[in-house]
Structure 1
Amino acid sequence: MDPTAHHYAITVSDLDRMVTFYRDVLGLDVLAEFTVGGEAFATGVDVPGASAEFVHLDGGDARMELVEYGPEGDRRPRPSLNEPGATHLGLEVDDLDSVYAELPDSVDTLSEPQTTESGTRILFVRDPEGNLVELLET
């Protein structure tokens, strides 16, 4: 087996709002929009009666997938990076300070941009549903 990354996914409750954030605030291009349903899908995701709307965004070497399920599941607690099983999306940018300066005031950040011991500059933000996104400049 020689797998390669195809996509990274975030399940969302408001697909339109999330597409607006990732497209308009973070600058990811929309590649595809589609709906999937039927018994094979419901069985494959182990959610009885499931259907979902998908949007694929251009994440460089792999797609970023936003998916809104019907029926919607229970909400998870707001994630913290030091919890086992915590996830975040990492997006590399050319100029972190410019990105930070251009973020709308409504975007929740964990801190101002920081330079780590390795020399990487990082900035963690939360998307409109509280998912963590690391913006980094190497």
Structure 2
Amino acid sequence: MDLKLSHCVVPVDDHDKALHFYRDVLGLEVRNDVSFEGMRWVTVGPAAQPEVEIVLEPPGANPNASPADRQVITELMAKGLMGRLVFATDDCDATFEKIQASGAEVVQEPIDQPYGVRDCGFRDPAGNLLRFTQPR
């Protein structure tokens, strides 16, 4: 079996804020931005990984979710407990400086971790935890 990651889903509560952050701050490519049946399908991804797409998905996107489910998702998003992404970078400190300059919420400044990486952390506009890691 030859499996490869194709898509991952990150919950967002505002596509425009999310696009600004992922496209303009992080420099990811917009792969899709399509209206479909009253919803908006937005995907982004790193230029160096054209086969991987990050779906920016609002809480109401799952047609099987009840109104109560959507409310729980919204509450978890507000606490920053729904989505996580880890990006590899060749310069953790420069990445940190660029993202911090955008006004993004800092979770952790660059630090050398005992497991062999230097990393830092931020929250995106929807509260998702993003980590940026550089091998030491």
TM-score (norm 2): 0.76
Report the equivalent of 1:66. 56
Report the equivalent of 1:79. 80
The one-character-per-residue Cα deviations of 1:84-130 (angstroms, maximum 9, x if unpaired) are xx641011111111111122252111121111112211111000111
Does the 8 Å CA contact 1:108/1:125 hold for their aligned counterparts? yes
User: Which consecutive unaligned segments of at least 5 residues does structure 1 have?
Assistant: 38-50, 81-85
What is the identity percentage for the equivalent residue pairs of Structure 1 and Structure 2? Answer: 27
1:96–1:107 distance in 2 versus 1, CA, 3 Å: same
| Higher helix proportion | 2
For the residue of structure 2 that corresponds to 1:111, the secondary structure is: strand
Mapping for residues 28-107 of structure 1, pairs under 5 Å: 28-37=28-37, 51-59=38-46, 60=49, 61-68=51-58, 70=60, 73-74=70-71, 75-77=74-76, 78-79=79-80, 87-103=83-99, 104=101, 106-107=103-104
1:11–1:52 distance in 2 versus 1, CA, 3 Å: farther
TM-score (norm 1): 0.75
User: Which consecutive unaligned segments of at least 5 residues does structure 2 have?
Assistant: 62-66
1:15–1:4 distance in 2 versus 1, CA, 3 Å: same
Aligned length: 120
